[in-house]
Structure 1
Amino acid sequence: MNIAISSEMKTYVARILVAGTGIVGLAAPAWAHAHLKTSMPMTGSTVQASPTRISMDFTEGLELAFSGVSITDNRGAPVSLSEPVLGAPDDTELSAAFIKPLMPGRYSVAWHALSKDGHKTEGKYDFSVAP
């Protein structure tokens, strides 16, 4: 069986292949952003006692100079933290110690991260300390 393909059909197929390759190429950089995987205290959790530090694990290694975390209490007052540090062998963990124990209540965490390949991400979550 011999199937003849016209030159117009070949051009159409070639255009679809080029467009598909371009779409995949544009999507690939989005996969490289540093997204929050886990945190301690965990997102939305209630801990029974004041944690001594906050720790966040990301999907990519981070650039410390352009990554950070801030925490506010339920009145919006900032919570004092030590300078953040990177951990894990591949710089995927960002952590900071609490300067003082946290009082019972709800806390909001805001983080920003720059992955090693130059992509910025940011996010927020809450946790609570039980009375």
Structure 2
Amino acid sequence: MNLRQHFSTSLRSIVLASAVAVAATSAFAHTTLQSASPAINATVSTQPTKLLLNFGEPVMLMNIKLVDTQQKNIDLNYKVTSDLQLAHTVALPALPDSTYTVIWTTMGKDGHNMSGKYNFTLKQAQ
């Protein structure tokens, strides 16, 4: 094999490997939390009445938890549905001032689970 044939074979291999890598990345890409209310890392001064989670693609909200700074679970009374939605709203009970962590798990239409968490702080005006 001369140098030109070797170069051509190597170039084809690199192009093929790159195409496979891009296809694999797209196939395994999962949607992420795009925005939330209360906002991610926000400090809010008024009692929030709901959590609103906005995702990049329709997902089922499989689980959602809210914990305070002492890791105490706040009952959200959330019921799982099989609805694929871009946005999910969950009612909140009255909350005392604290920093809260929202922990969520979703399932995409491809059946893959995704999870994440974010914080917000409630500090009501006195």
Q: TM-score range by the shorter chain?
A: 0.7 to 0.9
* CA shift in 2, pair 1:69/1:45, >3 Å: same
| 1:7 Cα deviation from its structure 2 partner | 2.8
2:95 counterpart SS class: coil
Amino acid at match of 1:114: M
Unaligned runs of 5+ in 1: none
Aligned partner of 1:52: which letter? T
Q: 1:85 to 1:37 in 2, by over 3 A?
A: farther
Q: How does 1:33-72 map to 2 (within 5 A)?
A: 33-64=30-61, 67-72=62-67
Quote the Cα distance in structure 2 between the aligned partners of 1:46 and 1:84: 27
- Is this contact kept in 2: 1:85–1:95, CA < 8 A? no
Q: CA RMSD in A?
A: 2.0
Q: Is the 8 A contact 1:84 1:95 kept in 2?
A: no
Give the corresponding residue for 1:125. Answer: 118
Equivalent residue for 1:78?
73
Partner of 1:7: 5
Q: Helix, strand or coil: the match of 1:101?
A: coil
- Structure 1 residue ranges, 4+ long, deviating more than 3 angstroms after superposition: none
- Distance, in Å, in 1 between the alignment partners of 2:71 and 2:18 is 47
How many angstroms does 1:113 deviate by?
1.3
Instruction: Give 1:52 shift.
Output: 0.8
The residue that corresponds to 2:87 in the other structure is: 93
Q: SS where residue 13 of structure 2 aligns?
A: helix
Amino acid at match of 2:5: S
**Does the CA contact (< 8 Å) of 1:73 and 1:79 recur in 2?**
yes
- Return the offset for 1:37: 0.4
Whole-angstrom distance in 2 between the partners of 1:80 and 1:105: 15
Structure-2 separation of matches of 1:11 and 1:77: 61
Provide the TM-score with structure 2 as the length reference. 0.83
Find the counterpart in structure 2 of residue 108 from structure 1.
Answer: 101
Alignment TM-score, normalising by the size of structure 1: 0.80
* Cα displacement (A) at 1:76: 1.4
Quick check: which one's strand share is greater?
Answer: 2
User: Which residue type is aligned with residue 65 of structure 2?
Assistant: S
Aligned residues: 120
> How far has the Cα of 1:61 moved from its partner?
0.8
Contact 2:46–2:122 (8 Å) recurs in 1? yes
SS at match of 2:73: coil
